[in-house]
């Protein structure tokens, strides 16, 4: 099975093999994929290693790698809002939260691509192995809050997963990713992870709150800051009030999302 790694800062993944097709998710620099169907016009169907999401990308955004690289755990992440690296001697700027594997000093070689950096990477608190058990995250409250708030005012972008545009589940996934814990991609999928919190009054920093629509489908997720505040991507990444009924926009006073369930992943 052909394995590949993302070699552009942010790779759009589309529902169909066309630049006009909906972007269903993104893959950041350094993340691996499995390639499947390849078309003569350069489109290739892939499944992401990190969250097993499928879609179409252009082959020019990928570099082929051996199974040993694909199977290696992610151990570091890009720590600055924008990080300068070099890829085969050419400068590239990548966003916060890109994850890396096969690190050797300040260089890594992925197939035909050699990546160099100076002081752009930081070690993950827990190495991420997509084939092993999900780690239990133990991180100080101040660190968790600092990472979540780094995304404040990032514009909402359907399918987005970076500090330059992000959707609700991309936001929760990105925060937990740099803490070394993989979340699934969509809100309804993330709702199946972790342990249920019985009451809003019991909510703690880092708990995930999920919200449903009139049909009962989970359509939104945010990260609890405490038992009465939530940080989430809605228009932009913002902090709003929450009560037992749902989210209240602090700017307008309007209710925007109906609370369904709260799950705990941190420290369990």
Please compute Rg for the chain using Cα positions: 19
The alpha carbon torsion through 108, 70, 175, 78 (nearest 10 deg) reads 10
Distance separating alpha carbons of residues 87 and 45, to the nearest angstrom: 24
pLDDT (tens digit, 9 = 90+) per residue, 94-133? 999 999 998 888 889 999 999 998 888 999 988 888 776 6
Closest to 250 in 3D by CA, of 258, 241, 260: 241
Residue where the block lists tokens 């969250």: 51
pLDDT (tens digit, 9 = 90+) per residue, 27-73? 999 999 999 988 999 999 999 999 999 999 999 999 999 999 999 99
Distance separating alpha carbons of residues 238 and 221, to the nearest angstrom: 13
State the pLDDT confidence band at 134, using cuts at 50, 70 and 90: low
Which pair of structure tokens corresponds to residue 7?
């070699």
Lowest mean pLDDT among 2-6, 15-19, 62-66, 138-142: 138-142
Instruction: Please give the average per-residue pLDDT across 149-171, as a whole number.
Output: 97
**Whether residue 263 has pLDDT greater than 60:** yes
**Whether residue 15 has pLDDT greater than 90:** yes
Return the domain boundaries, the chain.
3-126, 141-264
Sign of CA dihedral 227, 79, 180, 100: positive
**Whether residue 268 has pLDDT greater than 60:** no
Instruction: Please give the residue that has the higher pLDDT: either 141 or 24.
Output: 24
The confidence score (pLDDT) of residue 133 equals 61
**From 1.10.3210.10, 1.10.287.130, 3.90.1720.10, 3.40.640.10, which CATH number describes the 141-264 domain?**
3.90.1720.10
Distance separating alpha carbons of residues 30 and 35, to the nearest angstrom: 15
Q: How is residue 222 annotated by DSSP?
A: E
The confidence score (pLDDT) of residue 87 equals 96
Instruction: Please give the residue that has the higher pLDDT: either 132 or 224.
Output: 224
In 3-state terms, what secondary structure has residue 194? coil
The confidence score (pLDDT) of residue 160 equals 98
Please tell me the pTM assigned to this model.
Answer: 0.94
Helices (H) and strands (E) in the chain — how many of each? Answer: 4, 23
Instruction: Please give the residue that has the higher pLDDT: either 37 or 8.
Output: 8
The confidence score (pLDDT) of residue 22 equals 97
For 176-210, b/e burial (b = at least 16 CB within 10 A) is bbbbbbbbbbbbbbbbebbeebeebeebebbbbbb
Instruction: Please give the average per-residue pLDDT across 226-243, as a whole number.
Output: 98
The confidence score (pLDDT) of residue 186 equals 97
The CATH architecture to which 3-126 belongs is Roll (2.30)
């Amino acid at each position: 099975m052909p394995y590949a790694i993302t070699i552009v800062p942010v790779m759009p993944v589309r529902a169909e093999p066309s630049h006009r097709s909906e972007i269903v998710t993104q893959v950041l620099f350094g993340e691996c994929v499995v390639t499947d169907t390849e078309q003569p016009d350069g489109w290739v169907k892939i499944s992401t290693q990190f969250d097993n999401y499928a879609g179409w990308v252009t082959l020019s955004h990928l570099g082929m790698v051996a199974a040993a690289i694909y199977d290696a755990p992610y151990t570091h992440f890009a720590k600055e809002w924008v990080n300068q690296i070099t890829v085969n001697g050419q400068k590239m700027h990548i966003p916060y939260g890109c994850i890396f594997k096969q690190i050797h000093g300040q260089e890594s070689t992925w197939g035909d691509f050699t990546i160099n950096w100076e002081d752009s990477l930081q070690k993950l608190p827990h190495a991420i192995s997509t084939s092993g058990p999900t780690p239990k995250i133990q991180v100080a409250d101040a660190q968790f809050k600092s990472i979540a708030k780094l995304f404040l005012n990032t514009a909402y972008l359907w399918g987005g997963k970076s500090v330059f545009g992000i959707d609700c589940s991309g936001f929760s996934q990105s925060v937990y990713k740099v803490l070394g814990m993989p979340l699934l991609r969509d809100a309804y999928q993330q709702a199946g992870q972790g342990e249920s919190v019985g009451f809003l009054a019991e909510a703690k920093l880092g708990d995930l709150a999920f919200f449903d629509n009139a049909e009962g489908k989970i359509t939104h997720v945010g990260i609890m800051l405490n038992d009465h505040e939530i940080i989430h991507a809605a228009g932009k990444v913002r902090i709003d009030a929450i009560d037992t009924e749902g989210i209240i926009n602090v700017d307008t006073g309007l209710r925007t999302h109906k609370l369904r369930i709260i799950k705990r992943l941190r420290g369990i």
